Amino acid sequence: MYARYIPLTKAAPPSNQNRHADDPDRRSVHPDRRFAYQNTPVAEPPTPAALPQPTRIVFGDEDFPLPEPKKGRFDTDVELTGALEKKPSKRKRKQEEGAPNEEARIPDTEIPLDATAPTPIEEESRPQKDRSKPKKEKKKKQEVEEAEPESDKRVRTRHKAVFEKVERALQSKPNALSETEKGSELKPEPAQEVEEHGLEPLPQPQPVVFDASKLTYETLPPWLASPIRVANDSRRPFSELGISPESAKILASKGFADAFAVQTAVLPLLLPSADRQGDVVVAAPTGSGKTLSYVLPMVHDISKGAVTRLRALIVLPTRELVQQVQQACEACVAAFVIGGGKRVKIGTAVGNKPFKTEQSAIIGEEQRYDPDGWEKWNKKQRELVSLDDSDDGDDLMLGSEKTTPLPWHVIQYVSKVDILICTPGRLVEHVQKTRGFDLDYVRWLVVDEADKLLAQDFQQWLDMVMKGLSTEKRTARDFPGSNKTGPRKVILSATMTRDISLLNGLKLSRPRLVLLEGSKAGEQTLPTLLKESAIKVRESTLKPLYLLDLLNSDLLSALNQAPTKAEEDKMSIGESESGDSDSSSESSEASSSDSDPGSGSDSDSSSSDSASGAEAKRPRKAQTSTNARKFGTTVLIFTKSNEAALRLSRLLEILSPDLAPLIGTLTSSTKTSRRKHTLRLFSQGKLRILVASDLVSRGIDLLNLEHVINYDLPISETSYVHRVGRTARAGRAGHAWTLFEHSEGHRFWHDFVGEGKGATTNITRSGTVERVRLEGERDGKFSEERIKAYEQALQQLKKEAAERK
Ligand SMILES: Nc1ncnc2c1ncn2[C@@H]1O[C@H](COP(=O)(O)OP(=O)(O)OP(=O)(O)O)[C@@H](O)[C@H]1O
């Protein structure tokens, strides 16, 4: 409903002035104009004679159709418009329900003028039924007039002529009037009019601003959602990537002629440059060369310094990996010494030596001239005299008070290494117990096999490291306030987690993700040169016979050329160390788990595993025998546990004496020295078959390995990727075999291969998985003779186990 004011011809009684000001239904508000009368200051009512009052003329809603609501403005506008329209429609509803018209009920204040009243001609043309309407209206008018107070009647009679004149004028041009009215009502009221009436706009809500950008369900941060991609086959000479020609030459002599794809992407991000990039996360397949991609820039950077301080920490889940990365570091050190750089010192902390030995290998003592410090030290010594000096904790502390400084000197602890490669458990021990061991000067933090290390927070190692890195020492960082200084973090895995909550713990700064082309973040890509096959085991109790048939079949053929001399040098795991000579110090190392990240202390648990004890007793005379020459390839067999690996290896020896000298075992319960020895014999080709638990499933680099057999199904897709990724490394061919029992078929095809109804897998492969049937098995059965031999072998195993007890 709309209202307007017209000059008054009669004085309204004072009681009518703002009579409806409080009645929301009586307030007249145009939805677009949005002015409210209730805000109008109410003047003191003048006397009827003194001030003539405006008369309110009321029109119906249908006279002024509302403008269409604007498109694109949804909820808020609907509410607003709804709220504004509500009042007139409420009244309208009342009228429709037959409620008496309020305007008609209160004729003393507002005289309704029917602007739409028909002209006499129109009246003539109207049907008979409609003609009775004016009579009704006349009667109604009469009733209203009768109800008028006496004073109003008097006014009406006195100004009757004027009223009639106005009425006639309006009736003669009803349409023209209504059009004008419509126009004026719909236009915003001029400012002058607003001022005249004392109307002020009501505060309105801010218009809703819609975000025009496309809706997306991407919840990843931009650096994870848009990675740096590198083509699988992109190789470039190191000299083109910022490595000096002299250093590149040394690298080539060590078997690293060109940079692999992942290295071409990562080196430019990590090599020292004016525009230092942020942290780097690398998710690239197994064997793609991730190690060199961080070792090279790190050693290059540190070789430019002069003083030895702990500049880099490389954290890895197993001792074997620590040893492997140490070798890669040594190769790079040699390359940068040639270029006139400092000889970077590498240290390891894995728990294979007594803790004190490790401490003194990492931290040294120096006498520093400091008279004040010496005075303080003297004072402290005098205070300590009366105290109990048997402090066991101090015994562990390197440079305890037993070391006496020279006069006017103090003992200062200095790092003996620039790079420390360690397992997280041992790192925590050093942070807690080694005096002078701090991370103040660390400017490289590498977490390799990151998904494993982050998922299993051994002794809260990450929190401890993060705390150590946020040093307050003023001299430790070049520009402490800048995000271009501080430690660089390099996080790597073939099965990188996309779990933001895990990555958050690393507090990455301006990170970039590097992916090989064709792989997706969160997916696990297999090496392109890997072939996969699967063999169904129809009779699970005879599974060892299936394995034996596979080993003796032509299916396991040689796939690659013999490794070159340089490749052989790279493969010689453990040879940089003193081989078995250090076995005395680690004779008792054992760990019950398949990985040993938490293996901090060199605690003794000598051969808790009985099978392991048996393995230790067996003579291991490895030689390149005729058998070895006959068995022309190399195989790594994965079992589900240490116990299973030891049992299977022994069973194979009993069942196939020809193969026995070629078989080695790798479990986490095996002494480290023996593990090293086994790996060395394998890389030399003296051992051809390794039976292992998941200890070596991650990271271990056996370049001459051609076949991987999953004797027991891996526990997860990730485990499958790491196991089969021990072969087909560094551009060489490899073949992975999986034996699955009837009950495991669904899981294998569904989860690992992605075949079957509704199957999905996170594993990306370039080929398919081939189904293979073995020759020795006829219709799911083996010959009686073979089964008998197998049963005898089992008996012998039982006997041996009983003897050990
Ligand atoms: N540029 C290169 N030229 C030749 N060989 C290389 C080069 N870079 C790395 N390699 C070799 O490739 C092999 C695999 O490298 P590396 O162990 O770094 O792989 P990775 O990506 O870390 O694998 P995983 O995820 O299994 O740990 C190693 O034997 C390594 O010496």
Task: Give, as one character, the DSSP assignment of residue 606.
Answer: T
- At residue 421, does pLDDT exceed 50? yes
- Whether 726 contacts 714, CB under 8 Å: no
pLDDT of residue 69: 46
How much distance in Å is there from the Cα of 521 to the middle of ligand 1? 21
Number of other residues whose CB lies within 10 A of the CB of residue 244: 17
Which residue's alpha carbon is at the smallest distance from atom 3 of ligand 1? 256
Contact 507, 281 (CB under 8 A): no
**Cβ proximity of 349 and 420 under 8 Å:** yes
CA separation for the pair 616, 319 (Å, rounded): 19
Minimal-distance CA residue to ligand 1 atom 12 = 730
Q: Does the beta carbon of 288 lie inside 6 Å of ligand 1?
A: yes
* Res 64 pLDDT > 50: no
- Amino acid code (one letter) for 778: R
Tokens encoding 29: 């508000």
Which amino acid, residue 666? Answer: L
Cα 714 to its chain centre, rounded Å, is: 25
Bigger pLDDT: 709 or 138?
A: 709
Task: Report the separation in Å between the CA atom of 236 and the middle of ligand 1, taken as the mean of its atom positions.
Answer: 15
327 C-alpha to center of ligand 1: Å? 12
Stretch (H or E) spanning 281 = strand 280-283
Q: What is residue 134's predicted lDDT score, i.e. its pLDDT?
A: 57
Give the C-alpha distances (Å, rounded to integers) separating 606 from 309, 526, 763, 782: 37, 38, 40, 41
The residue-averaged pLDDT of 440-467 equals 88
Distance 287 CA to ligand 1 centre (A): 5
Of 260, 572, 636, which is best to mutate to test ligand 1, by the most ligand atoms within 8 angstroms of its C-beta? Answer: 260
**Chain CA centroid to CA 383, Å:** 54
Strands 512-516 and 228-230: parallel
Which residue's CA is the nearest one to ligand 1's atom 8?
289
Query: What's the CA gap between 336 and 301, in Å, rounded?
Result: 10
Q: Which amino acid is at 290?
A: K
Judge if the beta carbon of residue 292 lies within 6 A of ligand 1: yes
Looking at the CA of residue 571, tell me the nearest atom of ligand 1: 29
pLDDT digits (tens, 9 = 90+) for 743-790: 999 999 999 999 888 888 889 898 899 999 887 666 667 888 889 999
Predicted local confidence at residue 448, as pLDDT: 94
Cβ-Cβ contacts under 8 Å for 791 (sequence gap 6 or more): none
CA 672 to chain centre: 35
Mean pLDDT of 226-231: 86
* 730 CA → ligand 1 middle, Å: 6
Q: What is the pLDDT of residue 330?
A: 92
Q: Secondary structure of 121-138 in the HEC alphabet? A: HHHHHCCHHHHHHHHHHH
Which range, of 131-135, 228-232, 394-398, averages the lowest pLDDT? 394-398
Residue 589 has pLDDT above 80, yes or no: no
Q: Which of 732, 421, 725, 683 is nearest to 570 (CA)?
A: 683
- Classified as helix, coil or strand, 664 is strand
What pLDDT is recorded for position 191?
52
φ, ψ (nearest 5 deg) of residue 537: -95, 105
Distance 328 CA to ligand 1 centre (A): 9
- From residue 62, how far is each of 59, 142, 174, 177, 500 by CA, in Å? 8, 26, 15, 15, 60
Contact call for residues 255 and 566 (beta carbons, < 8 A) = yes
Higher pLDDT, 379 or 215: 379
CA of 595 to the centre of ligand 1 (A): 21
For ligand 1, the distance from its centroid to the CA atom of residue 57, given in whole angstroms, is 91
Question: 527 in ligand 1 pocket by Cβ < 6 Å?
Answer: no
The span from the CA of 702 to the CA of 262, in Å, is 20
Instruction: Say yes or no to pLDDT of 707 above 90.
Output: yes
Ligand 1 within 6 A of CB of 703: yes
Lowest-confidence region among 274-278, 454-458, 582-586, 732-736? 582-586
Token representation of residue 776:
């020795």
Q: Which residue puts its alpha carbon closest to atom 27 of ligand 1?
A: 699
**CA of 701 relative to ligand 1 center, distance in Å:** 8
Q: Pick the residue with more confidence: 67 or 268? A: 268
Q: Is 730 in the pocket of ligand 1 (CB under 6 A)?
A: yes
- Of the listed ranges 50-64, 346-360, 597-611, the least confidently predicted one is 597-611
